[in-house]
C-alpha cells in the first residue's frame, strides 16, 4: 500500500484521533492522539491490509524551541508481508510526558521505550519493566533533553572541570590529578544533592 | 526531573533473594567475562546447570553517541559512527552517509558507489570472520578463530592501504569517499576473494561448521521462531536464520546493489528446528561466500567505469533543509537504521537516533535464554553476534 | 637406586669409608630428586611443545621472543608464576584454599609410583598397580572440589561440581575397559601386564582380539582424556563459560600447581594407556629393546606416552567443547555400554579354549595397520609442514 492509502485507512478507522498527516514527504507519517497509540498500533499490526508487524525504530525527539514546546515519539513501522513502510508519531508535553506502551504489540518496543525513558524521561504507561537501560541506575535526569546541562558531580565525585581548572589547564599549569580530582585524593566530596 | 515514577525494587541492580526458589542461584555473568563479547552483563537464575531466567544489563559501554551527534556538524558524526560497531565500521558510516545524502538529495557517482559496495562487502567478510571465529572460541574451538583472523588481516591490510586505518576508517563521506582506491587495489582484492573461496571457506566448513560436536552444540539450541524474530526486530543473519528471506541489498537496493547477482541465504534447519544457533551461523558462512561473489562482480564493474573524483560531490557545507529521514542499510550485523532530524537552521543534526541490529537482538535474548543450560547461554550470545559498542552506543 | 649404589661403589674407597645406611639414603634421595626433577620439569617442556604445536596448527609461530625459538618462554613464565603474589580473596576459606592445589598435585604425582619404566625402573611393583593408578587418579577430584568450594566463587563452584561429575562418570568406562586388559593379562600388576605384551608389536594388547581391543583402547583413551579435563572434555575449566572454572581465584604459585598437576596427569594418563595397550616399555621389535647392551625400555615408554600426549594436544586444538549433558551422554550411554559389552565378549572368548590366547588372525593385523597409520600421519604432517613453510615464505616475501 502507498503511504496515502495507509493514511486514509487509519483516518477511516480512527477518525479525529489521527490528528495530522504528512504523506507526500520522503518519510511519510501520521500524528496520532497520544492516548490512542496502543490501539492504533494493535490495529496496524492486526489489519490484514496493513500487517505492520515490525517496529523498525522507536525514537523520541525533543522540540523545545517550538511555539508549543513538545516531545515527539516516532514509531517507524515495516511490514514483512506487504513490504511497505510507515511512521506514526505522537506529541507529548515536555513535562510529565506519558505515553501508552506498545510493548504488547511489538516486542522490540520494550527496550526502545526503556531507552526513551532513560534519555528523555517519557513514561510509558503499562510497560512491564521500565528501568534505566543505558545510564547507571542511580543517574538523575534525562540527558538527551535539549535543556540538559551536565552535572558537576556524580555521586559526590567531581566529574566536570571547573572554570578555574580549565583556566589553569589552558595556561599549562597543574590543576589536579586523575580525572579532575583534587585533594584529598579520590575523596567523595559531600555535596548537597549528591551522596556523601 | 520532570516525569516521576515510583522507585521499585527492580530499579536496583539485580534480582533479590525473594525472586529465586530454594534450589536456585543468581549468577552474574559479566561485565568482565571472557565470552560476553564486550561488557555485557547477564543476570541468570540458575538451577544447577539449567537457566530459569536471564536478564541482560547493558550500558557499560555507553559513550553518549546520540548526544555527541547533536554537538558536531553532519560530517563530524561519521568518525563517531565508526565507533558504534567497531568490528564493521565501513557499514556504519555507509548507513549514516546514505541517510544524510537522502536528506540532502545528492547521489554519488556510480564509481563511488561501486567503491562503497566493495568496501562494505569486504567489511562484511571481515566482520563475519570475527563473528564465526569468536563463536567457535565460545564453544571451545580455538584454532578456527586464528585461521579466520589470519584471513581478516588481509582485508584490513587493503583497508589500511586505501584509507590509512585498520579499524576505524572514516572512509565513507557524505557524497563520496575520502580517498580513491590505490593503484593495484583491484588485483589485491581479487587475490583476497580467490583466497577466500579456495582456502578460508572450505577450511572453515571442514574444521568448524561441519564438526559433529559443533553441530550438536548449536543445532536445536536457542530456537528463534519467525514470529519472535519479526516482533523483536531481529535483522540480518539473525532474521534470515529464522527463515525469513529479507535482505535490504535485494529488497530495497541502495548504492547500486541492484547491479549484482547474489543469493540471499536463509536458515534451512539442516540439523533440527529452523532458527537455531546453527542456522544463524550457517547463514553467516554462506553470506561470506555471497559477499565474495559481490566483490568480484563489483571489481569487474569498477574496472569498466570511468574514474571520477571521489570527492566530487562532497558538499563544502552540509546544511540540509528542515526535515527528517529514516534510512536503513544492511550492515554486517543486520539492518542499521539512522533516524536523522534536521531543523534547517543549524549545521549540526537536531537529533540522530541509531537503530542498531544488536540492540534489538539482545532485547529478545531473555525469551530464548529461558530453560537452556549455562553453556548454551554463551552459545546464544555468540550466535546473535552482538557487538556491545553498537548496543550501548 | 641400584644403579646409583653401583655407581657409588665405583668411587675408590667409598665402600670402606661411607657406612651402608648413609650411601643407601643418599642414593635414595638422589633418585627421588631426579624423579621429582623429571616429573615437575616435564610440564615446562610440554607447555612449550603445546604452544609451539598450537602455533603450528593455527598458522602462526608460537613463542619466539624469549631465547632461540622461544625455548626459554615457559621457563620465564614459570619464574614469573613462582614470584607472583598469591592473592587470597577476602572471602576464601584459607586452609582449604591452600590444601586444594597441594592435593591435586599429590594426586597427579602419586601415579608415578607404580609406572613401570623398565623391569627394574619402577617405584614399586604393586600387585594392584592398575587399581592403584585409578584410585589415585580420583584423588585430584577431591582437590578440585575443595578448590571450588574454598574459592567462594560461583564459577569456581560450578567448575568443581562439573569436574566431580565428570571424573566420577568417566572413571567407570575407564575401569571397565581396564578390566578387559586385566582379564587378558591375568594380573593387576603393571609389570606383568607389560610382560604379557613383550615380543613385538603384534603382541600388544591393542591388537589382541582384533578389533575388540582397539575399541577398548579407544574407550580407555577417551575416558582418560576426560579425566585429565582436556578439550573436548574441558568443561570444568571451560574458559569461555566459567572464566577459569575451579581455579578462577588462584594466582601465582598455587595456580602454577594446578597447571603442573594438569600436565603431569596428562603424562601419567598417557603412560598408563601405553602400559595397558601399547606394550609399555616393550619395544615394537624385540631387537630394539636394547641398545649396546643397555635396556632402553624407559625411552620406549616415554616415547609412547609423548605420542599420546601429542594426540591430547592435537585434539585440544581441533575440537570444540561438549556441553555437560552431552558429556554425560557420552560417558553413560556410549562408552559404558561398549565397555560392558567388551567385558562380556572378551570374558567369554577367554574361557573358550580355542580363543583363550586371542583370535587366530591377531598377528596379521598389528604390523600392516600400524604401518598404514604411521604412513598416513607422516603424510599429513608433511603436507601441513609444507603448507606452513609456504605461508611463512609468503609472509616474509
What pLDDT was estimated at residue B13?
53
Chain C positions contacting chain B at CB under 8 Å are 54, 57-60, 154, 158, 161, 231-232, 234-235, 238-243, 317-326
Q: Is the pLDDT of residue C363 over 80?
A: no
Distance from CA of A80 to the nearest CA of B (A): 8
Among the partner residues B5, B59, B360, nearest to A108 by beta-carbon distance: B360
Lookup: cell for C112: 608415578
CA B274, chain centre distance (Å): 21
What pLDDT was estimated at residue A179?
54
- Which DSSP string do the residues of B231-254 spell out, in sequence order? HTT--THHHHHTT----HHHHS--
What pLDDT was estimated at residue C3?
65
- Identify whether the C-beta of residue B379 lies closer than 8 Å to the C-beta of residue B138: yes
Chain B residues with CB under 8 Å of C322 CB are: 213, 216-217
Inter-chain CB proximity B1 and A26 less than 8 Å: no
Which of B116, B113, B125 has its CA nearest to residue B90? B116
How far is residue C220 from each of residues B247, C274, C319, C334, measured CA to CA in Å? 50, 11, 19, 12
Q: Is the pLDDT of residue B7 over 60?
A: no
When pLDDT is cut at 50, 70 and 90, the band that residue C4 belongs to is: low
Q: What mean pLDDT comes out for the span C351-355?
A: 79
Inter-chain CB proximity B213 and C318 less than 8 Å: no
- Interface check B12 vs A, CB under 8 A: yes
Among the partner residues C60, C231, C240, nearest to B35 by beta-carbon distance: C240
- Identify whether the C-beta of residue B324 lies closer than 8 Å to the C-beta of residue A27: yes
Element at B23 (helix H, strand E): none
Among the partner residues A61, A83, A133, nearest to B58 by beta-carbon distance: A133
When pLDDT is cut at 50, 70 and 90, the band that residue B14 belongs to is: low
Among the partner residues A53, A61, A76, nearest to B341 by beta-carbon distance: A61
Q: Is the pLDDT of residue B300 over 50?
A: yes
Dist CA B95 CA B340 (whole Å): 11
Distance from CA of A55 to the nearest CA of B (A): 6
pLDDT tens per residue across span C55-113 = 888 878 788 888 788 888 888 888 888 888 888 888 888 888 888 888 888 888 888 87
How far is residue C166 from each of residues B263, C313, C325, measured CA to CA in Å? 45, 20, 10
Chain B residues with CB under 8 Å of A129 CB are: 10
Dist CA B329 CA B114 (whole Å): 15
Q: Which chains touch B (3 or more CB pairs under 8 A)?
A: A, C
DSSP B207: I
φ/ψ of residue A65, rounded to 5: -100, 0
Chain B residues with CB under 8 Å of C158 CB are: 49, 374
Dist CA C186 CA C208 (whole Å): 14
Dist CA B4 CA C2 (whole Å): 87
Best A67, A97, A111, A120 member to test B by mutation, with max B CBs in 10 Å, is A111
- Interface check B161 vs A, CB under 8 A: no
Peptide bond into C68 cis (omega under 30): no
DSSP C315: H
pLDDT tens per residue across span C180-229 = 888 888 888 888 888 888 777 777 887 777 788 888 889 999 988 888 88
Which of B217, B218, B238, B215 has its CA nearest to residue B228? B238
Among the partner residues A26, A131, A136, nearest to B102 by beta-carbon distance: A26
Q: Is the pLDDT of residue B355 over 50?
A: yes
CA dihedral A73, A76, A79, A83 (to 10 degrees): 160
- Interface check B284 vs A, CB under 8 A: no
- Which DSSP string do the residues of B295-329 spell out, in sequence order? HHHHHHHHHHSPP--TTTT--SS--PPSEEEEEEE
Dist CA A120 CA B68 (whole Å): 15
Q: Is the pLDDT of residue C355 over 80?
A: no
Q: What mean pLDDT comes out for the span B257-280?
A: 86
DSSP B373: B
Which residue of chain B is at minimal alpha-carbon distance from C231? B140
Dist CA C265 CA C271 (whole Å): 10
Question: What rounded mean pLDDT belongs to chain A?
Answer: 79
Q: Is the pLDDT of residue C124 over 80?
A: no
What pLDDT was estimated at residue A196?
38
- Identify whether the C-beta of residue C260 lies closer than 8 Å to the C-beta of residue C252: no
What pLDDT was estimated at residue B11?
46
- Identify whether the C-beta of residue C177 lies closer than 8 Å to the C-beta of residue C220: yes
Chain A residues with CB under 8 Å of B326 CB are: 27, 56-57, 76, 87
Strands (DSSP E) contained in chain C are 290-291, 294-295
Chain B residues with CB under 8 Å of A56 CB are: 233, 326, 328, 335, 337, 355
Dist CA B97 CA B102 (whole Å): 8
HEC sequence for chain A: CCHHHHHHHHHHHHHHHEEEEECCCCCCEEEECHHHHHHHHHHHHHCCCCCCCEEEEEEEEEECCCCCCEEEEEEEEECCCCCCEEEEEEEEECCCCEEECCCCCCCCHHHHHHHHHHHHCCEEECCCCCCCCCCCCCCCCCCCCCCCCCCCEECCEECCCCHHHHHHHHHCCCCCECCCECCCCCCCCCCCCCCC
Which residue of chain B is at minimal alpha-carbon distance from A58? B355
Angle at B370 between CA B367 and CA B376, to 5 degrees: 105
Inter-chain CB proximity C323 and B217 less than 8 Å: yes
How far is residue C333 from each of residues B259, C176, C326, C339, measured CA to CA in Å? 55, 14, 10, 11
Q: Is B391 helix (H, G, I), strand (E, B) or coil?
A: helix
What pLDDT was estimated at residue A176?
60
Q: Is the pLDDT of residue A183 over 50?
A: no
Q: Is B192 helix (H, G, I), strand (E, B) or coil?
A: helix
pLDDT tens per residue across span A149-166 = 877 777 777 777 777 777
Inter-chain CB proximity B213 and C322 less than 8 Å: yes
Q: pTM of this prediction?
A: 0.84
Question: What rounded mean pLDDT belongs to chain B?
Answer: 85
HEC sequence for B106-169: CCCCHHHHHHHHHHHHHHHHHHHHHHHHHHHHHCCCCHHHHHHHHHHHHHHHHHHHHHCCCCCC
Q: Torsion-angle region of residue B15: left (phi > 0), alpha (psi -120 to 50) or beta?
A: beta
Chain B residues with CB under 8 Å of C60 CB are: 146, 150
Amino acid at each position: 500500500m502507498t503511504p496515502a492509502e495507509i493514511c486514509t485507512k487509519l483516518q477511516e478507522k480512527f477518525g479525529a484521533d489521527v490528528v495530522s498527516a504528512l504523506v507526500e514527504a520522503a518519510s511519510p507519517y501520521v500524528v496520532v492522539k497520544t492516548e490512542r497509540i496502543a490501539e492504533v498500533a494493535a490495529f496496524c499490526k492486526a489489519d490484514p491490509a496493513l500487517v505492520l508487524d515490525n517496529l523498525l525504530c522507536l525514537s523520541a525527539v525533543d522540540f523545545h524551541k517550538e511555539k508549543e514546546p513538545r516531545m515527539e515519539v516516532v514509531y517507524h513501522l515495516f511490514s514483512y508481508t506487504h513490504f511497505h513502510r510507515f511512521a506514526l508519531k505522537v506529541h507529548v508535553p515536555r513535562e510529565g510526558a506519558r505515553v501508552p506502551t506498545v510493548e504488547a504489540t511489538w516486542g522490540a518496543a520494550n527496550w526502545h521505550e526503556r531507552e526513551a525513558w532513560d534519555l528523555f524521561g517519557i513514561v510509558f504507561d503499562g510497560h512491564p519493566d521500565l528501568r534505566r537501560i543505558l545510564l547507571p541506575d542511580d543517574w538523575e535526569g534525562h540527558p538527551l533533553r535539549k535543556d540538559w546541562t551536565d552535572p558537576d558531580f556524580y555521586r559526590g565525585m567531581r566529574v566536570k572541570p571547573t572554570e578555574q581548572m580549565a583556566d589553569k589547564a589552558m595556561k599549562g599549569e597543574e590543576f589536579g590529578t586523575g580525572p579532575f580530582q583534587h585533594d584529598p585524593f579520590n575523596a567523595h566530596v559531600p555535596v548537597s544533592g549528591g551522596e556523601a | 526531573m520532570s516525569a516521576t515514577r515510583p522507585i521499585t525494587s527492580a530499579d536496583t541492580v539485580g534480582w533479590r533473594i525473594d525472586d529465586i526458589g530454594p534450589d536456585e542461584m543468581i549468577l552474574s555473568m559479566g561485565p568482565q567475562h571472557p565470552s560476553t563479547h564486550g561488557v555485557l552483563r547477564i543476570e541468570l537464575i540458575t538451577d544447577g546447570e539449567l537457566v530459569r531466567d536471564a536478564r541482560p544489563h547493558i550500558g557499560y559501554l555507553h559513550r553518549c553517541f546520540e548526544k555527541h551527534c547533536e554537538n558536531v556538524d553532519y560530517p563530524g558524526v561519521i568518525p563517531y559512527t565508526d565507533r558504534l560497531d567497531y568490528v564493521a565500521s565501513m557499514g556504519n558510516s555507509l548507513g549514516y552517509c546514505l541517510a544524510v545524502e537522502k536528506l540532502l538529495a545528492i547521489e554519488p557517482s556510480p564509481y563511488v558507489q561501486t567503491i562503497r559496495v566493495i568496501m562494505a562487502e569486504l567489511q562484511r567478510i571481515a566482520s563475519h570472520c570475527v563473528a564465526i571465529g569468536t563463536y567457535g572460541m565460545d564453544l571451545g574451538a580455538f584454532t578456527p578463530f586464528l585461521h579466520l583472523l589470519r584471513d581478516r588481516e588481509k582485508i584490513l591490510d587493503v583497508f589500511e592501504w586505501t584509507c590509512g586505518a585498520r579499524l576505524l576508517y572514516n572512509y565513507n563521506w557524505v557524497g563520496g569517499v575520502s580517498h580513491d582506491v590505490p593503484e593495484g587495489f583491484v588485483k589485491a582484492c581479487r587475490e583476497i576473494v580467490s583466497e577466500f573461496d579456495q582456502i578460508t571457506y572450505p577450511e572453515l566448513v571442514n574444521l568448524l561448521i561441519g564438526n559433529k560436536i559443533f553441530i550438536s552444540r548449536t543445532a536445536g539450541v536457542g530456537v528463534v521462531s519467525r514470529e519472535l524474530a519479526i516482533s523483536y526486530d531481529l535483522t540480518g543473519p539473525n532474521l534470515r536464520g529464522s527463515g525469513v528471506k529479507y535482505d535490504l541489498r535485494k529488497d530495497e537496493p541502495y548504492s547500486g546493489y541492484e547491479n549484482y547477482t547474489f543469493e540471499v541465504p536463509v536458515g534451512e534447519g539442516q540439523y533440527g528446528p529452523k532458527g537455531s544457533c546453527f542456522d544463524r551461523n550457517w547463514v553467516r558462512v554462506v553470506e561470506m561466500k555471497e559477499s565474495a561473489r559481490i566483490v568480484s562482480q563489483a571489481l569487474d564493474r569498477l574496472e569498466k567505469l570511468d574514474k571520477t573524483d571521489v570527492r566530487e560531490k562532497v558538499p563544502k557545507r552540509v546544511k540540509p533543509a528542515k526535515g527528517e529521514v529514516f534510512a536503513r542499510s544492511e550492515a554486517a550485523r543486520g539492518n542499521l537504521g539512522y533516524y536523522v532530524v534536521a531543523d534547517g537552521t543549524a549545521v549540526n543534526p537536531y537529533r540522530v537516533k541509531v537503530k542498531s541490529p544488536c540492540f534489538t537482538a539482545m532485547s529478545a535474548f531473555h525469551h530464548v535464554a529461558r530453560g537452556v543450560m549455562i553453556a548454551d547461554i554463551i552459545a546464544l550470545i555468540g550466535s546473535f553476534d552482538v557487538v556491545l559498542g553498537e548496543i550501548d552506543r | 637406586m641400584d644403579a646409583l649404589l653401583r655407581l657409588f661403589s665405583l668411587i675408590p674407597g667409598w665402600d670402606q669409608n661411607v657406612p651402608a645406611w648413609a650411601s643407601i639414603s643418599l642414593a635414595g634421595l638422589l633418585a627421588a630428586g631426579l624423579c621429582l626433577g623429571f616429573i615437575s620439569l616435564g610440564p615446562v617442556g610440554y607447555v612449550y611443545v603445546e604452544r609451539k604445536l598450537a602455533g603450528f596448527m593455527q598458522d602462526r609461530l608460537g613463542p619466539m621472543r624469549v631465547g632461540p625459538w622461544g625455548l626459554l618462554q615457559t621457563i620465564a613464565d614459570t619464574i614469573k608464576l613462582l614470584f607472583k603474589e598469591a592473592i587470597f580473596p577476602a572471602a576464601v576459606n584459607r586452609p582449604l584454599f591452600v590444601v586444594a592445589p597441594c592435593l591435586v598435585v599429590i594426586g597427579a604425582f602419586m601415579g608415578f609410583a607404580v609406572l613401570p619404566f623398565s623391569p627394574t625402573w619402577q617405584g614399586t611393583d604393586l600387585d594392584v598397580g592398575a587399581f592403584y593408578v585409578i584410585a589415585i587418579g580420583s584423588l585430584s577430584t577431591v582437590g578440585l572440589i575443595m578448590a571450588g568450594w574454598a574459592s567462594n566463587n560461583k564459577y569456581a563452584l560450578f567448575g568443581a561440581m562439573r569436574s566431580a561429575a565428570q571424573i566420577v562418570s568417566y572413571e567407570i568406562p575407564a575401569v571397565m575397559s581396564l578390566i578387559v586388559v586385566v582379564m587378558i593379562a591375568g594380573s593387576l600388576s603393571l609389570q606383568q601386564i607389560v610382560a604379557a605384551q613383550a615380543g613385538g608389536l603384534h603382541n600388544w594388547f591393542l591388537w589382541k582380539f582384533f578389533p575388540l581391543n582397539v575399541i577398548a583402547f579407544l574407550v580407555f583413551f577417551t575416558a582418560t582424556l576426560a579425566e585429565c579435563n582436556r578439550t573436548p572434555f574441558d568443561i570444568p575449566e571451560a574458559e569461555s563459560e566459567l572464566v577459569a572454572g575451579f581455579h578462577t581465584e588462584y594466582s601465582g604459585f598455587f595456580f602454577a600447581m594446578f597447571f603442573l598437576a594438569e600436565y603431569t596427569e596428562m603424562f601419567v594418563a598417557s603412560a598408563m594407556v601405553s602400559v595397558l595397550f601399547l606394550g609399555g616399555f616393550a619395544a615394537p621389535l624385540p631387537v630394539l629393546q636394547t641398545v649396546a647392551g643397555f635396556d632402553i625400555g624407559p625411552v620406549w615408554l616415554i616415547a609412547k606416552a609423548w605420542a599420546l600426549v601429542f594426540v591430547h594436544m592435537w585434539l585440544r586444538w581441533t575440537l570444540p567443547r561438549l556441553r555437560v549433558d552431552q558429556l554425560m551422554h557420552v560417558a553413560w550411554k556410549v562408552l559404558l555400554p561398549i565397555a560392558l559389552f567388551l567385558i562380556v565378549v572378551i570374558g567369554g572368548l577367554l574361557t573358550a579354549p580355542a580363543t583363550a590366547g586371542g583370535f587366530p588372525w591377531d598377528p596379521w593385523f598389528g604390523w600392516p595397520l600400524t604401518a598404514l597409520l604411521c604412513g598416513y600421519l607422516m603424510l599429513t604432517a608433511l603436507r601441513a609442514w609444507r603448507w606452513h613453510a609456504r605461508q611463512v615464505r609468503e609472509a616474509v616475501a
